[in-house]
Structure formats: C-alpha cells, structure tokens
C-alpha cells in the first residue's frame, strides 16, 4: 500500500524560499514513509491570478528547468514519486498551468497542462493560462498509476472519467481554491461542500482514489480553505487537513480496493459507449 503525502501550505515571498521550504516538507514526508508526495497548485508562487498584471508573467519558468531539476534530484535521492504544480513558460507569450510528475528514479515522466481555465473575480486565470493540449495522460509510477488534473479541472466528470479509462488508480488534484469575503457568510459552507462532494463523486463513479491538496492563508481578498483530503473508491474521506494550518496529510492507499470496488460495481462494464455522442456538443437544445 503506497503512502501518499499532501503538502498543504501557504504562499512565500519568493520562489527560492518556497522551493527550499517545500524541499524540507518533502524530506519530512519521505522520513514519515511517504512514497508519493504532492504539492498544491502553483506552490512556488503566491496565487497571482487575483489581478490581471503583465508583470506576473515573469514568475513563469520553462519545463524542464531549474525547479524541476531540483525536484527530480530529490525524487532520486529519496526514492519517491513527486507531483508538482508550476507556472510554465512554453514560449514567448505562451503560458500554462502545468503539473509535472517525477518517478522514484528521478525521471520526469511527463507533464499535464490544465485544460479547464476559470475566469471569475479573484480568479483571473484566462488572462494568464492557455488551455492545455496534453490530453489526459496517466503515468505508471513505481507506486501506482496516477492521473493528475489541476483545480478547475476537478469539477468536470469527463476529465476524471478519461483518466480513469486510461488506467488511473489515483486521481490527484493540486488546487488553489478559497472564499471571497463577500460570499463566505452566505455561500462559504455550500461552496466547500460542493467542491468536496463533486470530487468524492469522481472517486465513486470511477472506482478510484481521489487526492486533492489545497493551499491555506489569505492572499489579497481570497481566503484559501485548505481541507486537503484523500477519499477511497466509495467516496469515504479517509484523511483530511485543517482549514488554516500548514501540514502534511499522510495516508496509506489500498490499491487492491480499486479492483475490488470495480468488481462489485462494474460501471465500466455497463457504460453505453454507443449512446453518448451528444456529449461532444456544446448544448443539445440548439
């Protein structure tokens, strides 16, 4: 049973400080027996998408680059899988929100570029990120088959399904989501419930584990709500973080439960793949 570690943390004043701090968290996770370690979304920077500011593009880095090299070296040294989330500079004026997977031998297995890009007050992501074009990769790591999606992707059952069909046993969601002050009193509890519930539903519908790691702290007007969690194929939350504390959420993943669940509830067997053509339309009432 692989042990997963979710690094629920805050923003730091600069990227070097953030990376050095997370290296310490990764080492502690490995010391505590973790074999898969996951960062929150955009862990090297503040959540800069609160405003539209062209200077923020200077925060982006090439992949591979110095940060991913350090993470790969750390994965090699510790013999662990590291899933990290980065602001990628792909080319002049072309940027992505990108997850990187290093296997336990330090090799970079590949990247996933965030496909669904939100645009809301305090979450001005369409200004910064080009929609991803990596399709829905699944990586066969030393400690399990992983599918990695990013934040806003977590609301879309199609993305979770395609990664599960690609063989993912664990769906991982690096995340940066929180409350706006004008909404928290009225909608805060409902918003968090919806976020948690939809991901638990992905676990059930696909018979797999889900691990979501969110950041904490207040940045500009956004209060990130933490509460990173791991749930099993029944949607039962087996490990969960606090709302406002930096912590490492550790949990042992029973991969046998994925096969056992899918034998009892064979959703993949009973899918009507001949009948879903309309899912490719934007709207079915045109």
Residue 206 binned pLDDT confidence (cut-offs 50, 70, 90): very high
> How far is residue 122's CA from residue 268's CA, in Å, rounded to a whole number?
38
Q: Report yes or no: 71 and 111 within 8 Å, Cβ to Cβ.
A: no
Grouping H, G, I as helix, E, B as strand and the rest as coil, residue 269 is: helix
CA-CA-CA-CA torsion for 158, 162, 168, 169, nearest 10 degrees? 40
Residue 215 binned pLDDT confidence (cut-offs 50, 70, 90): very high
Mean pLDDT, the chain, rounded, equals: 97
> How far is residue 19's CA from residue 5's CA, in Å, rounded to a whole number?
17
pLDDT in the model for residue 280: 92
Q: What percent of the chain has pLDDT over 70?
A: 100
> How far is residue 211's CA from residue 173's CA, in Å, rounded to a whole number?
6
Q: How far is CA 260 from CA 193, 232, 270, in A?
A: 28, 12, 16
Q: Report yes or no: 35 and 3 within 8 Å, Cβ to Cβ.
A: yes
pLDDT tens-digit readout, 7-25: 999 999 999 999 999 999 9
pLDDT in the model for residue 285: 83
- pLDDT tops 80 at residue 286: no
Enumerate the active-site residues.
Answer: 41, 114, 151
pLDDT tens-digit readout, 115-147: 999 999 889 999 999 999 999 999 999 999 999
Q: What tokens were used for 15? A: 């990227």
H/E element, 247: strand 247-252
Instruction: Give the bridge partners for 36, in sequence order.
Output: 4, 81
Residues 6+ apart with CB under 8 A from 216: 8, 9, 10, 224, 225, 226, 242, 243, 244, 245, 246
Q: Per 3-state DSSP, what percentage of the chain is helix, strand, and coil (rounded to 5)?
A: 35, 30, 35
> What domains appear along the chain, each with residue ranges and CATH number?
3-280 (3.60.110.10)
pLDDT tens-digit readout, 68-105: 999 999 999 999 999 999 999 999 999 999 999 999 99
pLDDT in the model for residue 239: 98
Q: How far is CA 243 from CA 36, 125, 200, 210, in A?
A: 23, 24, 18, 19
Grouping H, G, I as helix, E, B as strand and the rest as coil, residue 79 is: coil
pLDDT tens-digit readout, 243-270: 999 999 999 999 999 999 999 999 999 9
């Amino acid at each position: 049973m692989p042990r997963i570690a979710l690094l629920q943390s805050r923003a730091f004043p600069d990227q070097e400080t953030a990376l050095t701090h997370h290296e310490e968290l990764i080492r502690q996770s490995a010391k505590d027996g973790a074999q898969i370690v996951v960062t929150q979304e955009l862990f090297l920077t503040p959540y800069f998408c609160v405003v539209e500011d062209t200077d923020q593009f200077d925060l982006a880095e090439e992949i591979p680059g110095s940060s991913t090299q350090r993470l790969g070296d750390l994965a090699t040294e510790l013999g662990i899988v590291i899933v990290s989330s980065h602001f990628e500079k792909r080319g002049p004026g072309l940027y992505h929100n990108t997850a990187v997977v290093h296997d336990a031998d330090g090799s970079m297995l590949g990247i996933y570029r965030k496909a669904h890009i939100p645009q809301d007050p305090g979450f001005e992501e369409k200004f910064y990120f080009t929609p991803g074009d990596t399709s829905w990769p699944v990586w066969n790591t030393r400690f399990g088959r992983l599918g990695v999606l990013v934040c806003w992707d977590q609301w879309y059952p199609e993305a979770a399904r395609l990664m599960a069909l690609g063989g993912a046993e664990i769906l991982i969601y690096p995340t940066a989501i929180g409350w706006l002050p004008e909404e928290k009193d009225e909608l805060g509890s409902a918003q968090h419930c919806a976020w948690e519930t939809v991901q638990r539903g992905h676990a059930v519908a696909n018979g797999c584990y889900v691990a979501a790691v969110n950041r904490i702290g207040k940045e500009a007007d956004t209060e990130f709500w933490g509460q990173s969690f791991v749930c099993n194929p029944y949607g039962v939350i087996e490990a969960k973080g606090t709302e406002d504390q930096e912590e490492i959420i550790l949990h042992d993943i029973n991969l046998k439960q994925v096969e056992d669940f899918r034998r009892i509830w064979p959703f993949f067997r009973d899918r009507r793949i001949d009948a879903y053509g309309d899912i490719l339309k934007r709207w079915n009432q045109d």
